[in-house]
């Protein structure tokens, strides 16, 4: 996009040259966009160019193919959350995942809304369980938006829509308790909240859901190649597990 003015979530910042930075940010209508921020390493702009921050982004480029010049204005800072290790790890993971996996300049309005909700929940939720559930839903949505959605509406074996209790690690389809008999150890447990059931999830439910989404993210999206990014997620899930142990 040669010209753009929009609210945007800062997802990644990379040093470029002696003074500048390349920004990657998620917008509602244009999707993930990139731009060069002159003076991005300055004392004034560094606190604004932090992953998770909400900014007004102005992007200008001479052609669609050219990396545009970007100017930013802070709308909401999430810097205080970065002092909390668990919250900081969650922001690092969600923004890094977004920047690394979405193709540029393709609109994903549902992902923009979901990422906004995750970041807002991290800021206001009294417990990690509440924002971790939002995080699991975000990962599930990202898989679907990238073409790797899971079928959690009917049993992959029988086609029935009731008594769904597991997820197949191969197909990504739900499996009923009856069809899973004798094979439970080879399947993932399906937390009810991933299907919009069961009310507020327990932390065990959340961790089970992150096991499911983590498996398919690693297999289908990260494809085992981006080990640094996978390591960010592993540290986050480990912190979540220890936080409720």
Read off the pLDDT of residues 120-134 as tens digits, 9 standing for 90 and up. Answer: 999 997 678 789 999
Q: Say if residue 153's pLDDT is above 80.
A: yes
Whole-number percent of the chain with pLDDT over 90? 73
Q: Where in the chain does DSSP place strands (E)?
A: 3-16, 20-27, 31-37, 54-60, 68-76, 151-155, 164-167, 173-176, 188-189
C-alpha R_g of the chain: 19
pLDDT at 225: 66
Residue with tokens 């979540």: 240
pLDDT at 106: 95
- Banded model confidence at residue 206, pLDDT cuts 50, 70, 90: very high
- Banded model confidence at residue 161, pLDDT cuts 50, 70, 90: very high
Token pair listed for 156: 């992959």
Read off the pLDDT of residues 10-46 as tens digits, 9 standing for 90 and up. Answer: 999 998 877 889 999 999 999 999 999 998 888 899 9
pLDDT at 243: 72
Q: Which neighbouring-strand residues pair with 140?
A: none
- In the 8-state DSSP scheme, what is residue 193? G
Read off the pLDDT of residues 85-112 as tens digits, 9 standing for 90 and up. Answer: 899 999 999 999 999 999 998 999 999 9
Read off the pLDDT of residues 60-69 as tens digits, 9 standing for 90 and up. Answer: 876 666 788 9
- Banded model confidence at residue 226, pLDDT cuts 50, 70, 90: confident
- In the 8-state DSSP scheme, what is residue 62? S
Q: Say if residue 1's pLDDT is above 60.
A: no
List of domains in the chain? 3-79 (2.40.50.140), 125-243 (no CATH)
């Amino acid at each position: 996009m040669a010209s753009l003015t929009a609210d945007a979530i800062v997802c990644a910042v990379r040093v470029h040259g002696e003074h500048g930075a390349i920004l990657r940010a998620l917008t509602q209508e244009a999707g993930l966009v990139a731009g060069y921020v002159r003076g991005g390493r300055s004392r004034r702009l560094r606190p604004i160019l932090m992953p998770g921050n909400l900014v007004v982004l102005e992007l200008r480029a001479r052609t669609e193919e050219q990396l545009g010049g970007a100017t930013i204005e802070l709308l909401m800072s999430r810097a205080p959350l970065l002092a909390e290790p668990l919250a900081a790890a969650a922001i690092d993971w969600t923004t890094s995942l977004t920047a690394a996996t979405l193709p540029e300049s393709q609109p994903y309005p549902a992902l923009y809304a979901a990422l906004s909700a995750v970041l807002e929940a991290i800021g206001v939720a009294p417990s990690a369980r509440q924002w971790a559930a939002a995080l699991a839903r975000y990962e599930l949505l990202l898989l679907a938006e990238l073409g790797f959605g899971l079928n959690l509406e009917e049993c992959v074996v029988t086609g029935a829509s009731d008594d769904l209790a597991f997820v197949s690690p191969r197909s990504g389809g739900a499996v009923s308790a009856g069809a899973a008999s004798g094979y439970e150890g080879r399947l993932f447990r399906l937390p009810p909240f991933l299907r919009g059931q069961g009310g507020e999830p327990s932390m065990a439910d959340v961790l089970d859901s992150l096991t499911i989404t983590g498996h398919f993210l690693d297999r289908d999206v990260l494809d085992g190649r981006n080990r640094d990014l996978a390591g960010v997620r592993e540290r986050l899930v480990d912190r979540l597990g220890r936080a409720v142990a």
